[in-house]
Structures are given as C-alpha cells and as structure tokens.
Structure 1
C-alpha cells in the first residue's frame, strides 16, 4: 500500500512541476532531445527490474543468524550515476562545488534515514532535494541544474545508503535476505532525489527565490 501511495505522490509532484513549467525548462536548458529522454527513461525502467548481488554482511549481534546479502538495483542506483555523467557532458560545475554540496547533502540525509526492520533503509527525500537545490543556486548560479542533481544523487547514495550499511548487521529480521541499494528502482530515493532537486532548483530560480 505504501509503495502505491509513494508512486501516486511522485506522479503528483511531477505533474505540479510540469504545470509550473519547471520540467520543460530543465529539459530545454540541459538540451535533452526526445530520443535521449526516451533512451534514459527506458534504461531506468529496464534497470529497475535488474538487481546484482555483491557480497554478504555477517550479523554482529546475532552470531548464529544467516548473513545479510547486499546488492545493487541497476535502475535505482547505477542508472542515476550514468545520468550524472551524461549531465556533466552538458554542463560542467566546478568539482570543488560538487564535493562541498555533496558533503552538505550527505550530512542532511544521514540523520533523516531510518532503519526499518522489514525494508532496511528508508530515506526521506525532502532534506536532500531542498539542500541540493538551494546549495546549487548559491554555489554556482550558472550550472545549478547539474550541480543540484549531482549533489542530491551522491549525497543520498552516501548518506542514505552507504553510511548505514553497517547498521543492517544489527537487524536480525534482515538476515538471509538480499538488500538492494536503489531497490526502489525508478521510485528509489537515489533516482528521484536528483531529478526533483533539479526541478526544485529551477522552480526557485524562476521564482527568483535567491
């Protein structure tokens, strides 16, 4: 039920951005053609169906429980990083700005991520999206779209997933299960954070928020 609600909420947010013109403006400013957009969304959709197991984590509190298997969902984690490389080819924010803003978003996302005994890591997007959007507009007004996307994706990946991996070992309920980074596919926090950060930054820019 929660997954359906999240899907509807995501569609509603994208509809609002479309109504405001932010989505169209982002596509135009990044000079993304219809063919490139179709290929990108196709990769994300197909990749969301594929997961690759990497390694196992032994429980630290429950010595006799089976290990937790860790993997990556291609659509939810790998594809957003491929988009990042593509966007960097369109615009090139200064690398020091990427590091600074990624660190900020990581610091925001980390405490906003909770450990669920059934689903593993649950990340709340609001902090990543707002901090990445505002930070990008302040640090680099000329390349704020790609900077916002990069910081949101990397900050969510690091602060929401990677830094919480060791905590999974303490959850007995997760034993003998496979936890996929980016497991939500195209509805995963890593994938959505970057797209929403760009559109939020564009909306703020159009409103002359800063």
Structure 2
C-alpha cells in the first residue's frame, strides 16, 4: 500500500485563481502575524514564516496525501457464469462476495499544515479558553452545514466557517481586537476539519470511496478560503 498519494484538489483553470488568492493571503497575513507575534512577545521575523506557511506552502502541498489507515468493506457484486448449450452462450447470474478497500489519508496542504499552524498559534497566544469556545461552536456549525456527496466527499459552503468564526471571535475578543483574526482562523480550520471531515467519516465510509482525504477533495476549498477570509474579515472588523 502506497503511503503517499498525489491527488490535487485544485485543478484546471481554478489553479491560477488560487495562486492569486495565495498572493493576497500572503500580503495581508504578513503584517498581521508580525503585529500578533510582537503582541505575544515573540520576534516579528517568525511572522514571515507563518505567512508563507498559511499561503503558498499550503497550496503547493495540497496534492500530497499521507495514508494513515486502510479499511476493507465487504460488498456483494453481481457476476455471471457462462454455459454453452448447442454452442450458444447462456449467462447465469450469481452474487459474489468481495471486499472494497478504502484508504484514509490526511492532506498535507489542506489539513496538516493548517492544523500545525493553528496549534502553534493556540500555544503562543493568551486567552486560550475563548479560542477553545470558538472552536467547539465551529465544530457544531460545520457538522450541521456539511453533507456527504457520493463521488465528491464532504461538501460545505466555504463562506460558512469564516463568517461564523469571525463574528464569534469578535464577540469573544472585543476587549483584545488583535486576537480576532487569530481566533477566527484557528476555529475555522479546526472546526472544519473536525466537524465537516472527521465527524462525517462513518457516512463517507458507507459510500465506499477509494480514498478519504481529510482536508483534501471537498473541504480544501473551505479551509483555504477560511484562512483568507478569517484574517481579512478579522482585520476589517478591527479597523472599524
């Protein structure tokens, strides 16, 4: 079994659009992460690394999926035996028991990198209890608004997570507005991964796909756009 599978969630003409969005995300996140790290007492140079990680590195590694588990599901498939009578073939149907394999993987650009960045921010920043509240609410919202579509995977409107996370973060961090974009990003990423992907794993397995990619096909759009909108909308609310 291959442990690394290359499947790009961004294909065709949509890729240049994501490239432009990555550049926009890089520009707006550099200054924010620099100010955020200074606020938390860390060197501002680390902000450049975080900005590159959240934008171009996430997009560049989005085709890479790391397989962590393999499931085997029993299925019954129709088969045919051929009998010849006076030279003429007669097809006799029968049911054959077989097993279908499903690979469970984590997408590097859509799950592992955003999750590592979110955990890093959560460790570095104060007021962790409010961020955890934000995360729990976003997990519930993502679970409610996500659905499993055969042949596609988990589907959720990419605007739901960032809009709800920004509004809730603004309420929770009204007294510390610089933490609003950080909380919005962390909660939208973890909320989407857990609520939309992991909590729907059972339903996805019932559809018997060849591969389940957490943070990949179906939810990469939501996670990537969440990163962009969470920081942009968060900074916009701060400036009002």
Tell me the TM-score normalised to structure 2 length.
0.68
**1:51 offset after TM fit, Å?**
1.4
**1:91 offset after TM fit, Å?**
3.3
Q: Deviation string for 1:18-38 (max 9, x for gaps)?
A: 9xx965653453356475257
Q: C-alpha distance in 2, partners of 1:61/1:3?
A: 32
The count of residues paired between Structure 1 and Structure 2 equals 201
Map of 1:8-87 to 2, 5 A cutoff? 26-31=32-37, 33=45, 35-36=48-49, 39-40=52-53, 41=55, 43-59=57-73, 64-87=98-121
Structure having the larger proportion of residues in strand: 2
Q: C-alpha distance in 2, partners of 1:123/1:185?
A: 8
Q: Which runs of 5+ in 1 are unaligned?
A: none
| Residue of structure 1 in register with 2:186 after alignment | 150
Distance 1:186 1:56, change over 3 A: closer
Map of 1:30-179 to 2, 5 A cutoff? 30-31=36-37, 33=45, 35-36=48-49, 39-40=52-53, 41=55, 43-59=57-73, 64-88=98-122, 91-92=125-126, 94-141=127-174, 142=176, 143-172=179-208, 174=209, 177-179=210-212
Structure number with the bigger relative contact order (C-alpha 8 A, sep ≥ 6) is 1
Q: Deviation string for 1:30-50 (max 9, x for gaps)?
A: 356475257524542443232
**1:83 offset after TM fit, Å?**
1.4
Tell me the TM-score normalised to structure 1 length.
0.76
Over the aligned positions, Cα root-mean-square deviation in angstroms equals: 3.5
Q: Which runs of 5+ in 2 are unaligned?
A: 1-9, 38-43, 77-96
Structure having the larger proportion of residues in helix: 1
Larger radius of gyration: 2
